Chains A and B, each alone.
Chain A
Amino acid sequence: MLLEVDELCVNYGRIEAIRNISFTVREGEVVTLIGANGAGKTTTMKTVSGLRPVRQGTVRFQGEDITSMPAHERPVLGIAQSPEGRGCFVGMTVIENLDMGAYARPDRKSPRINEDRDRVFGLFPRLAERRSQVAGTMSGGEQQMLAIGRALMANPKLLLLDEPSMGLAPKLIQQIFDIITEINEQGTTVLLVEQNAAQALKRAHRAYILETGEIVREGTGDELANDPAVKASYLGGDV
């Protein structure tokens, strides 16, 4: 078991954002958390990456309890996140952003970094073309690619993707999801938070549905995609 989240509760002040949720991610999987706005998806993601303190419950990574580990120590363990809203360093170039992704790596001076950069450029040829462009001047889709590429530069065991399809054109969404599948096939485990349930369920091995801070259903991607209730609420009854 790569990631185990057990009876997690997170509060914003007195408001309960997440109540007693438990889920797991096994090595090699793509697992998705889907849900509407405000269901607690991003909050869950932030507790896994360490940006959000936990009120109750545990987060374990490879068996180790990391519930109260600060966010900046988690990349070293192998957790990397592409945050919601991309979070590119807008004043830095593409290359500098990618180098920031490898900031915490102990082997950051070895030639492996160049290999990983080439891998990112292989996945996103667009980034290679724009390698010395300042990130703030790129389109939303390119910034999303950069955010994912930057997270990959940490050479993570677990890649956290928070709404990678947000604000992108349909064609680009398709492309981003294809790349997520490709990343997974290359051996990286992916935890994906999405509002685009159709795509997420199609790509995921397993899925959890979050509603108002609680997990209401779980199953394989196919099961949930063909479930009438899920279809009605998340897939517009048509996929």
Chain B
Amino acid sequence: MSTVSTTLHRVGDRFRSLPRPAKLALAVLAVLLVYLLPIINPPLITTTDSDFGAVLFSCAMYALVAIGLNIVIGYAGLLDLGYIGFFAVGAFTVGVLGSQHGKLPLLLCIPAAMAVTMVSGVLLGAPTLRVRGDYLAIVTLGFGEIIRLVLVNTNWLGASRGISNIPSPPSIDLFGVPHLVWNGAVASIDLGNETRFLQFSVTDSIPFYWLTLTIVLVVLFLDWLMQNSRVGRAWEATREDEDAAELMGVPTFRFKLLAFATGAAIGGLSGALFATKQAFINPDNFTIIYSVLFVAMVVVGGQGNRWGVVLAAALLTWAPEKFRFLSDARFLLFGMALMALAIFRPQGLLPPRRTVRAKQADEETEVLEEGVAHA
């Protein structure tokens, strides 16, 4: 397991040490490949039992969720067990404004959804972020359930029927992209099966995947900017020692609230994308199990490492679809895989470099101390 992570870190190091143009070219190529995944349909990776485009959309959407939750858990160190609540608020804001009670175009609904979730993040955070540790986990767990129960019981929000006819993003139909089909290792172009660029419809998930992937890339960039700023440093200090951070002049409460609100807005954004892709949402889409799954993504990926959590989100979304043929047994395997990971690799698949460094040095001192004890 640890070889996986050292290999990944080594790949990262080698990438970083390349000359700038080569770095840029490789990055562009990699991004292009990820964009073209649903067109290429690579054997082994493609899902035969469910629509690959839809699976990729889910991967990208959950990657976005994981990036948002990583800010809360990984950077600021706040355990949020009710993240699905923000996801739901985002989805339902789009539903209410775009279908149930208004006919706003989606491009207005999405920023509105982010604003509303951000406000709900502040409203939840302001009274609760003063408590530390486990209490916050309990309060957020309650928040997630409260949101769902409110949705089920409020007619204005469609109650248990939910909201349908949620608008799609505006389409601009420019050209068609034919898919590849594979016969063993031989690829050929399937002219009968093409994706229109860029037409959003319920029949083809691929344009939604492209949209979501683009948003993921933008958010990753903003996330990188934030983490490398004074804000990121303040989060790190707060996470490591709240009192010490306060003594350094970091207004820890305000920074925790900022992490909470930023995370909430990103959760709301992913919820909004979910709503427009599904065109139909109901409270059953937002059960507590998702909150747990989201936390699992962040923990499996390695709290605090954006690439780790993106990888884990994609993996944990893709795997159950890939192994659909195992039917219910795949959940057993899924659970066992998570347990194995918790036992053998508690720091996650790709922990932040800092954690790796600290752990290595820790092991070194342990060896030294044991040597002293034996002497």
- A residues adjacent to B (C-beta < 8 A): 49-51, 70-76, 80-81, 83, 87-92, 96, 99-101, 103-104, 133-134, 136-137, 150-151, 154
Asked if A51 and B354 make an inter-chain contact with CB atoms under 8 angstroms apart, the answer reads no
Contact of B249 among A92, A137, A154 (CB under 8 A): A154
Contact of A103 among B234, B358, B361, B365 (CB under 8 A): B234
**B249 proximity list for chain A (CB < 8 A):** 72-76, 103-104, 154
Interface of B is mostly: helix
Could you write out 29 A-B pairs with CB less than 8 Å apart?
A49-B247, A51-B247, A72-B249, A75-B249, A81-B247, A83-B243, A83-B247, A87-B241, A87-B247, A89-B240, A89-B241, A89-B244, A90-B358, A91-B355, A92-B240, A92-B354, A96-B233, A100-B248, A103-B230, A103-B237, A103-B249, A103-B250, A104-B250, A134-B357, A134-B361, A137-B361, A137-B364, A150-B248, A154-B248
Residues 324-357 of chain B, each 1 if its beta carbon lies under 8 Å from chain A, else 0:
0000000000000000000000000000001101
Measured CB to CB, the closest approach of chain A to B371, in angstroms, equals 15
Asked if B244 and A83 make an inter-chain contact with CB atoms under 8 angstroms apart, the answer reads yes
- B residues adjacent to A (C-beta < 8 A): 230, 233-234, 236-237, 240-241, 243-252, 354-355, 357-358, 361-362, 364-365
Bound form: Cα–Cα A143–B365 in Å: 15
Nearest 5 A/B pairs, CB to CB: A104-B249, A137-B361, A87-B244, A75-B249, A71-B246
Q: A70-B246, A75-B247, A137-B364 are in contact. List 10 more A-B contacts (CB 8 A).
A: A75-B249, A76-B249, A87-B244, A88-B241, A88-B244, A100-B237, A104-B248, A104-B250, A134-B358, A136-B358
**B354 proximity list for chain A (CB < 8 A):** 91-92, 134
Asked if B362 and A137 make an inter-chain contact with CB atoms under 8 angstroms apart, the answer reads yes
Bound form: Cα–Cα A80–B246 in Å: 11
Contact of B246 among A51, A90, A99, A154 (CB under 8 A): A51
**B358 proximity list for chain A (CB < 8 A):** 90-91, 134, 136-137
Contact of A92 among B236, B246, B251 (CB under 8 A): B236
Measured CB to CB, the closest approach of chain B to A101, in angstroms, equals 6
Bound form: Cα–Cα A72–B246 in Å: 5
Bound form: Cα–Cα A150–B236 in Å: 16
Bound form: Cα–Cα A75–B247 in Å: 7
**B357 proximity list for chain A (CB < 8 A):** 134
**A137 proximity list for chain B (CB < 8 A):** 358, 361-362, 364-365
**A73 proximity list for chain B (CB < 8 A):** 249
Given contacts A72-B251, A89-B237, whether A136 and B361 have CB atoms under 8 Å apart is yes
**B234 proximity list for chain A (CB < 8 A):** 103
